[in-house]
Amino acid sequence: MPVHLIDSPLLGDRVSTPEMRAIFEAQSQYQSWLDVEAALAEAQAEIGMIPAKAARAIREAARIELLDMEAVKEHGRVTGHPLLGIIRVLRENAGEAHGTWAHYGATTQDIIDSGHMLLAQRAHGLIDGKIAAILQDGLPLLETHRDTLAVARTHGVHALPFTFGFKVASWLEELARNRERWRETGERCLVGSICGAVGTYAPWGKQGFEVQDRTCARLGLGAPRMSWQSQRDRVAELSAVMALIAGTAARIANEIYQMNKTEVGELAEPYRKGLMGSSTMPHKVNPVKCEWLIAIARIVRHNAGIIFECMEVEDERDTTMWRTEWVTMPESFCLLSGALEHLHQLIAGLQVRPERMRENLDMLQGVLLSERVMFVLQRAMPLGHAHDVVHEASLTALAGQRPLADVLLEDAKVAKHFTREELQEALRPEGYIGLSGEVVDRIAGDIRRGLDAATARPL
């Protein structure tokens, strides 16, 4: 039975996606090691280092369905080694004459690091594609609400008017920037490692670089300039950018969660008939997608911290650090896929309630526009004095739940210079949203251009 929630029949799809789980499930992981062994043999055969027949036999034998996993498991129990059992069974399946050339000159970390990067490359493409889909499906939300008036909040309270489209622009621009970072990690981080026991290519002499380059090319991975057995910055960078993506997703989910609260009521998660939020309170429709997203994104971020701890590698090999990656990296990829799936569904089906946004905008009866009316009063008094006048008037208006214009006109210095019509015009939210719409237009254009450029330059 599964132990980790990722593999739970009941909850697995809440925290990850089937496509990502398929990449990192055990059989796929073992096959990635076999793929590296086969690519290594073929590269060596190309330069005459091993017989071509041996390379073909190794390739034919390097299929997970041909391995006796019970024998592999027994080898592992006896030797305590994570890879040696697979190598031995692979050699047996390739035949004595050909199998002897399997794993020729390689070290365990060559195979496992390269295999893990092979899986990371596939996962990398899924993450990139999902972010692109979120951005694409976020554009209609952005543009539809370009001019939808809403309350901007700072320190958790009403600040000034802006548009809901401006808020969505903030979400999507940050996510688009993370996609740029993510795509940049591909060339720099998704590399193989075929360099021998201490990274000097010693078993292959002068042909060492060629063995590595040809093997990595066959795998579709980049070839490093030197061994990275003790350089874990590439793994850390992948983990760090995953943490950034998770952090952005969690920020968006938390804002939706807050704006979904009954007292606010401006947003709601997508709804379909049959959704229920409570086993005992029939009225409840909870923001479960936001909750799941925030919970699992937190683990992705913490995993990045663990990976950074594991950069402190000792000498030329240190498996006390290395093996930690075997747990955290697959987990982070799987959990990030789940977080992004929730985010995609939130963005694509978000319920927006403009009428409730307007109610909240008018809730303070003009106090929300205190900044603008202060600038109006400056025409008749110094700005600092105008600030004090509006401050006191705002507190009085809030305490008495009265319109700000009424309170201001009770001040003789204000009434002397300004009419009710002038003050009420200054207190119209529509007139003080700055360049909200222009910002939306700018970000929408940036996102479209970014999507087009990425399509033209596939990973």
Burial zone of 416 (CB within 10 Å; 0-12 exposed, 13-18 middle, 19+ buried): exposed
User: Which contacts qualify for 374-381: CB closer than 8 Å, 24 or more apart?
Assistant: 376/418, 376/422, 376/423, 376/426, 377/414, 377/417, 377/418, 379/417, 380/413, 380/414, 380/416, 380/417, 380/418, 381/413
| Catalytic residue (one of 155, 239, 342, 417) | 155
Please indicate whether residue 155 is annotated as part of the active site: yes
| Catalytic residue (one of 98, 116, 239, 278) | 278
Please indicate whether residue 239 is annotated as part of the active site: no
State the angle between helix axes of 52-61 and 26-46 in degrees (0 to 180), rounded to the nearest 10: 170
**Residue 145 in contact with residue 352, Cβ under 8 Å?**
yes
Distances (CA, A) of 76 to 24, 70, 73, 81: 20, 10, 5, 5
Question: Hey, which residues are catalytic here?
Answer: 155, 278
